[in-house]
């Protein structure tokens, strides 16, 4: 099935609350930094990805319907390439909403499978 929502925002911006909401709204698991602590075998995969040797994302994270927080947020572009129908959720502002941006600087945007 793949991902329905991918978080591209910075960590420490309400990702745990977002994770809880996504689990309820999407009726499926959401990958979050806490998952790394629960699955220490993932550490080697993330280290390899950071060195430029990423896994096949949909195989590695099979069963999850969403993903937010570090380390997933670093690889949102690669993950959207594997899940072109997913929404990308990002946090645009860190301290209060930026001027002219509704919803406190939070945006969920559908992206095409290719990005300039």
What are the tens digits of pLDDT across the range 72-113? 988 988 998 988 888 888 765 444 444 454 544 444 444 444
Could you give the CA distance from residue 78 to residue 54 in angstroms, rounded to a whole number? 9
31/16: higher pLDDT: 31
Q: Which fold has domain 5-110?
A: Rossmann fold (3.40.50)
- HSE (side-chain half, CA atoms, 13 Å) at 63: 4
Q: What percent of the chain has pLDDT over 90?
A: 47
For residue 66, list its beta bridge partners: 5, 30
- Could you report how far apart the first and last alpha carbons of the chain are, in Å? 26
Model confidence, pTM:
0.74
Check pLDDT > 70 for residue 4. Answer: yes
Could you give the CA distance from residue 101 to residue 92 in angstroms, rounded to a whole number? 9
């Amino acid at each position: 099935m793949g991902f329905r929502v991918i978080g591209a925002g910075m960590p420490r911006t309400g990702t745990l609350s977002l994770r809880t909401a996504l689990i309820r709204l999407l009726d499926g698991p959401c990958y979050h930094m806490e998952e790394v602590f629960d699955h220490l075998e993932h550490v080697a995969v993330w280290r390899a990805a950071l060195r430029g040797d990423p896994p096949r994302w949909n195989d590695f994270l099979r069963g999850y319907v969403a993903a937010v927080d570090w380390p997933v947020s670093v690889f949102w572009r690669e993950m959207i390439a594997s899940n072109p129908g997913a929404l990308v959720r990002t946090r645009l502002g860190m301290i209060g909403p930026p001027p002219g941006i509704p919803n406190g600087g939070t945006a969920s945007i559908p992206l095409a499978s290719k990005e300039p």
